[in-house]
Structure 1
Amino acid sequence: MSETTGGSAFERGARMRRQVLGARHVDANGGSDPEAMTPLQRMVTEFGWGTVWTREELAPQQRSLVTVAMLIALNRPHELRLHVKGALRNGLTEDAVREIAVHAVAYCGFPAAIDASRVIEDVIEQVRAEAGSELGGSEPS
Protein backbone atom coordinates (compact mmCIF):
# COMPACT_ATOMS: atom_id res chain seq x y z
CA MET A 1 0.00 0.00 0.00
CA SER A 2 1.43 3.36 -0.97
CA GLU A 3 1.71 6.15 1.53
CA THR A 4 -0.49 8.23 -0.78
CA THR A 5 -3.29 5.74 -1.54
CA GLY A 6 -5.87 3.83 0.42
CA GLY A 7 -7.67 6.64 2.24
CA SER A 8 -6.48 9.27 4.67
CA ALA A 9 -3.33 8.82 6.73
CA PHE A 10 -5.57 8.09 9.72
CA GLU A 11 -7.54 5.41 7.84
CA ARG A 12 -4.35 3.78 6.53
CA GLY A 13 -2.87 3.94 10.01
CA ALA A 14 -5.90 2.38 11.65
CA ARG A 15 -5.77 -0.53 9.20
CA MET A 16 -2.00 -1.04 9.59
CA ARG A 17 -2.15 -0.74 13.37
CA ARG A 18 -4.91 -3.36 13.50
CA GLN A 19 -2.93 -5.63 11.12
CA VAL A 20 0.28 -5.45 13.17
CA LEU A 21 -0.93 -5.11 16.76
CA GLY A 22 -4.21 -7.00 16.49
CA ALA A 23 -7.82 -6.01 17.01
CA ARG A 24 -7.75 -6.62 20.77
CA HIS A 25 -4.98 -4.07 21.36
CA VAL A 26 -6.41 -1.51 18.94
CA ASP A 27 -9.94 -1.78 20.35
CA ALA A 28 -8.60 -1.36 23.90
CA ASN A 29 -6.92 1.89 22.81
CA GLY A 30 -9.76 3.65 21.03
CA GLY A 31 -10.20 1.35 18.06
CA SER A 32 -10.42 3.10 14.73
CA ASP A 33 -12.55 5.96 16.00
CA PRO A 34 -10.47 9.14 16.15
CA GLU A 35 -12.96 10.70 18.56
CA ALA A 36 -12.41 7.88 21.08
CA MET A 37 -8.61 8.30 21.05
CA THR A 38 -6.40 10.62 22.99
CA PRO A 39 -4.68 13.27 20.88
CA LEU A 40 -1.41 11.32 21.18
CA GLN A 41 -3.03 8.06 20.00
CA ARG A 42 -4.54 9.88 17.01
CA MET A 43 -1.10 11.28 16.14
CA VAL A 44 0.54 7.86 16.49
CA THR A 45 -2.14 6.28 14.31
CA GLU A 46 -1.99 8.96 11.63
CA PHE A 47 1.74 9.60 11.43
CA GLY A 48 3.43 6.50 12.81
CA TRP A 49 1.11 3.90 11.39
CA GLY A 50 -0.53 5.76 8.50
CA THR A 51 2.47 7.62 7.08
CA VAL A 52 5.59 5.72 8.17
CA TRP A 53 4.43 2.09 8.42
CA THR A 54 2.54 2.21 5.09
CA ARG A 55 5.53 3.30 3.01
CA GLU A 56 6.41 0.73 0.34
CA GLU A 57 10.21 0.79 0.75
CA LEU A 58 10.14 -1.73 3.61
CA ALA A 59 7.72 -4.62 4.13
CA PRO A 60 5.89 -4.78 7.47
CA GLN A 61 8.10 -7.72 8.52
CA GLN A 62 11.23 -5.62 7.89
CA ARG A 63 9.73 -2.68 9.75
CA SER A 64 9.00 -4.98 12.69
CA LEU A 65 12.59 -6.21 12.80
CA VAL A 66 13.97 -2.67 12.74
CA THR A 67 11.43 -1.45 15.30
CA VAL A 68 12.21 -4.26 17.75
CA ALA A 69 15.93 -3.54 17.42
CA MET A 70 15.44 0.19 18.03
CA LEU A 71 13.21 -0.41 21.04
CA ILE A 72 15.88 -2.69 22.52
CA ALA A 73 18.46 0.05 21.99
CA LEU A 74 16.19 2.67 23.54
CA ASN A 75 15.23 0.39 26.47
CA ARG A 76 11.50 0.80 25.94
CA PRO A 77 10.04 -2.44 27.37
CA HIS A 78 6.37 -1.46 27.09
CA GLU A 79 6.61 -0.65 23.38
CA LEU A 80 8.98 -3.60 22.87
CA ARG A 81 6.28 -5.92 24.22
CA LEU A 82 3.74 -4.58 21.70
CA HIS A 83 6.14 -4.73 18.78
CA VAL A 84 7.46 -8.22 19.54
CA LYS A 85 3.87 -9.39 19.34
CA GLY A 86 3.49 -7.40 16.12
CA ALA A 87 6.69 -8.89 14.70
CA LEU A 88 5.34 -12.39 15.30
CA ARG A 89 2.03 -11.36 13.66
CA ASN A 90 4.05 -9.98 10.73
CA GLY A 91 5.72 -13.35 10.16
CA LEU A 92 9.02 -13.14 12.02
CA THR A 93 9.76 -16.45 13.68
CA GLU A 94 10.31 -16.79 17.41
CA ASP A 95 13.96 -17.62 16.68
CA ALA A 96 14.36 -14.51 14.51
CA VAL A 97 12.93 -12.29 17.25
CA ARG A 98 15.22 -13.89 19.80
CA GLU A 99 18.18 -13.34 17.47
CA ILE A 100 17.50 -9.61 17.41
CA ALA A 101 18.29 -9.56 21.16
CA VAL A 102 21.44 -11.62 20.58
CA HIS A 103 22.54 -9.20 17.86
CA ALA A 104 21.81 -6.27 20.18
CA VAL A 105 24.55 -7.44 22.55
CA ALA A 106 27.19 -6.11 20.16
CA TYR A 107 25.59 -2.70 19.83
CA CYS A 108 23.58 -2.13 23.02
CA GLY A 109 25.39 -4.27 25.58
CA PHE A 110 24.43 -7.24 27.68
CA PRO A 111 22.06 -5.44 30.11
CA ALA A 112 19.84 -4.17 27.29
CA ALA A 113 19.88 -7.53 25.51
CA ILE A 114 19.10 -9.46 28.70
CA ASP A 115 16.19 -7.16 29.58
CA ALA A 116 14.88 -7.41 26.02
CA SER A 117 15.24 -11.18 26.07
CA ARG A 118 13.03 -11.34 29.18
CA VAL A 119 10.35 -9.29 27.43
CA ILE A 120 10.64 -11.38 24.26
CA GLU A 121 10.26 -14.67 26.15
CA ASP A 122 7.24 -13.32 28.07
CA VAL A 123 5.57 -12.24 24.83
CA ILE A 124 6.31 -15.55 23.08
CA GLU A 125 4.77 -17.42 26.03
CA GLN A 126 1.73 -15.12 25.97
CA VAL A 127 1.25 -15.49 22.20
CA ARG A 128 1.50 -19.28 22.47
CA ALA A 129 -1.06 -19.31 25.30
CA GLU A 130 -3.44 -17.08 23.31
CA ALA A 131 -3.03 -19.27 20.23
CA GLY A 132 -3.82 -22.35 22.30
CA SER A 133 -6.95 -20.80 23.77
CA GLU A 134 -8.10 -19.55 20.34
CA LEU A 135 -7.68 -23.06 18.97
CA GLY A 136 -9.68 -24.52 21.84
CA GLY A 137 -6.61 -25.92 23.57
CA SER A 138 -5.53 -25.34 27.10
CA GLU A 139 -2.67 -23.16 28.25
CA PRO A 140 0.65 -24.90 28.78
CA SER A 141 1.32 -25.97 32.36
Structure 2
Amino acid sequence: MPSERFDKGLAVRREVLGAAHVDKSLREADDFTRELQALVTEYCWGEVWTREGLDRRTRSFLNLAFLTALNRPHELKLHVRGALNNGVTRDEIKEALLQAAIYCGVPAALDSFRVAREVFREIDSAG
Protein backbone atom coordinates (compact mmCIF):
# COMPACT_ATOMS: atom_id res chain seq x y z
CA MET A 1 0.00 0.00 0.00
CA PRO A 2 1.51 3.35 -1.01
CA SER A 3 2.49 5.76 1.74
CA GLU A 4 2.00 9.52 1.91
CA ARG A 5 5.70 9.91 1.01
CA PHE A 6 5.17 7.67 -2.05
CA ASP A 7 2.18 9.77 -3.13
CA LYS A 8 4.16 13.01 -2.75
CA GLY A 9 7.06 11.46 -4.62
CA LEU A 10 4.82 10.26 -7.41
CA ALA A 11 3.41 13.76 -7.85
CA VAL A 12 6.87 15.36 -8.00
CA ARG A 13 8.23 12.64 -10.27
CA ARG A 14 5.33 13.18 -12.70
CA GLU A 15 5.79 16.97 -12.64
CA VAL A 16 9.53 16.79 -13.30
CA LEU A 17 9.84 13.84 -15.69
CA GLY A 18 6.38 13.89 -17.22
CA ALA A 19 3.38 11.78 -16.32
CA ALA A 20 3.60 9.67 -19.50
CA HIS A 21 7.15 8.52 -18.72
CA VAL A 22 6.48 7.86 -15.03
CA ASP A 23 3.21 6.06 -15.64
CA LYS A 24 4.89 3.88 -18.29
CA SER A 25 7.73 3.02 -15.89
CA LEU A 26 5.28 2.00 -13.20
CA ARG A 27 3.00 0.15 -15.59
CA GLU A 28 5.90 -1.84 -17.05
CA ALA A 29 7.32 -2.76 -13.65
CA ASP A 30 7.25 -6.49 -13.07
CA ASP A 31 7.90 -8.72 -10.09
CA PHE A 32 11.63 -8.10 -10.49
CA THR A 33 11.54 -4.27 -10.82
CA ARG A 34 8.39 -3.24 -8.93
CA GLU A 35 10.16 -2.77 -5.60
CA LEU A 36 12.86 -0.63 -7.23
CA GLN A 37 10.19 1.63 -8.75
CA ALA A 38 8.56 1.96 -5.33
CA LEU A 39 11.91 2.73 -3.69
CA VAL A 40 12.82 5.37 -6.28
CA THR A 41 9.39 6.99 -6.09
CA GLU A 42 9.20 7.03 -2.30
CA TYR A 43 12.75 7.93 -1.32
CA CYS A 44 14.33 9.67 -4.28
CA TRP A 45 11.28 11.70 -5.23
CA GLY A 46 9.18 11.63 -2.04
CA GLU A 47 11.95 12.10 0.51
CA VAL A 48 14.74 14.02 -1.24
CA TRP A 49 13.08 15.97 -4.06
CA THR A 50 10.40 17.29 -1.68
CA ARG A 51 12.90 18.69 0.83
CA GLU A 52 12.92 22.47 1.25
CA GLY A 53 16.73 22.87 1.30
CA LEU A 54 17.07 23.18 -2.49
CA ASP A 55 14.62 24.21 -5.15
CA ARG A 56 13.86 21.98 -8.12
CA ARG A 57 15.99 24.04 -10.53
CA THR A 58 19.03 23.55 -8.32
CA ARG A 59 18.32 19.85 -7.95
CA SER A 60 18.10 19.61 -11.74
CA PHE A 61 21.47 21.33 -12.17
CA LEU A 62 23.01 18.89 -9.71
CA ASN A 63 21.50 15.91 -11.51
CA LEU A 64 22.88 17.10 -14.85
CA ALA A 65 26.36 17.25 -13.35
CA PHE A 66 26.06 13.97 -11.44
CA LEU A 67 24.69 12.03 -14.39
CA THR A 68 27.40 13.45 -16.63
CA ALA A 69 30.03 12.41 -14.09
CA LEU A 70 28.54 8.94 -13.92
CA ASN A 71 28.14 8.81 -17.72
CA ARG A 72 24.51 7.69 -17.52
CA PRO A 73 22.97 8.91 -20.81
CA HIS A 74 19.58 7.23 -20.35
CA GLU A 75 18.98 8.94 -17.01
CA LEU A 76 20.55 12.17 -18.28
CA LYS A 77 18.01 12.28 -21.11
CA LEU A 78 15.18 12.14 -18.58
CA HIS A 79 16.77 14.81 -16.45
CA VAL A 80 17.46 17.18 -19.35
CA ARG A 81 13.70 17.13 -19.93
CA GLY A 82 13.17 17.46 -16.19
CA ALA A 83 15.53 20.43 -16.01
CA LEU A 84 13.57 22.15 -18.78
CA ASN A 85 10.34 21.39 -16.90
CA ASN A 86 11.93 22.95 -13.81
CA GLY A 87 12.72 26.19 -15.64
CA VAL A 88 16.36 25.57 -16.55
CA THR A 89 17.08 27.10 -19.94
CA ARG A 90 18.95 25.45 -22.78
CA ASP A 91 21.79 27.93 -22.32
CA GLU A 92 21.97 27.05 -18.61
CA ILE A 93 22.05 23.35 -19.49
CA LYS A 94 24.91 24.07 -21.88
CA GLU A 95 26.80 25.93 -19.15
CA ALA A 96 26.25 23.10 -16.67
CA LEU A 97 27.58 20.58 -19.18
CA LEU A 98 30.59 22.78 -20.00
CA GLN A 99 31.35 22.97 -16.29
CA ALA A 100 31.00 19.20 -16.07
CA ALA A 101 33.43 18.81 -18.97
CA ILE A 102 36.18 20.38 -16.88
CA TYR A 103 35.49 18.47 -13.68
CA CYS A 104 34.13 15.16 -15.03
CA GLY A 105 36.01 14.79 -18.28
CA VAL A 106 35.50 15.70 -21.90
CA PRO A 107 34.32 12.24 -23.05
CA ALA A 108 31.50 12.25 -20.51
CA ALA A 109 30.54 15.80 -21.45
CA LEU A 110 30.57 14.96 -25.17
CA ASP A 111 28.02 12.22 -24.50
CA SER A 112 25.96 14.58 -22.36
CA PHE A 113 25.92 17.25 -25.07
CA ARG A 114 24.76 14.61 -27.58
CA VAL A 115 21.97 13.55 -25.27
CA ALA A 116 20.86 17.13 -24.55
CA ARG A 117 20.87 18.00 -28.26
CA GLU A 118 18.74 14.90 -28.95
CA VAL A 119 16.20 16.01 -26.33
CA PHE A 120 16.10 19.54 -27.77
CA ARG A 121 15.49 18.14 -31.28
CA GLU A 122 12.72 15.87 -30.04
CA ILE A 123 11.02 18.78 -28.28
CA ASP A 124 11.44 21.10 -31.28
CA SER A 125 10.05 18.54 -33.74
CA ALA A 126 7.05 17.81 -31.50
CA GLY A 127 6.17 21.47 -31.06
Fold similarity call, TM over 0.5: yes
Structure 1: tracts of 5 or more residues without a match: 1-6, 32-36, 133-141
| 2:24 equivalent in structure 1 | 28
| 1:79 aligned onto 2:98 | no
Tell me how far apart the structure 1 counterparts of residues 120 and 56 of structure 2 sit (CA, whole Å).
Answer: 19
| 2:40 equivalent in structure 1 | 44
| 1:69 equivalent in structure 2 | 65
What TM-score, normalized to structure 1? Answer: 0.81
| 1:102 equivalent in structure 2 | 98
Structure with the largest fraction of helix: 2
| 2:14 equivalent in structure 1 | 18
Structure 2: tracts of 5 or more residues without a match: 28-32
What TM-score, normalized to structure 2? Answer: 0.90
Tell me how far apart the structure 2 counterparts of residues 129 and 18 of structure 1 sit (CA, whole Å).
Answer: 22
| 1:4 equivalent in structure 2 | none
What's the RMSD between the two structures over aligned residues?
Answer: 1.6
> Which consecutive aligned stretches of 4+ in structure 1 deviate over 6 angstroms post-superposition?
none
| 1:121 aligned onto 2:117 | yes
Tell me how far apart the structure 2 counterparts of residues 42 and 100 of structure 1 sit (CA, whole Å).
Answer: 30
Tell me how far apart the structure 2 counterparts of residues 99 and 121 of structure 1 sit (CA, whole Å).
Answer: 13
| 2:30 equivalent in structure 1 | none
Name the % identity: 49
Q: CA offsets per residue over residues 10-62 of structure 1, 9 Å max, x none?
A: 0110000011001111111126xxxxx71100000000000000000100111
TM-superposed CA distance for 1:129, in Å, is: 2.3
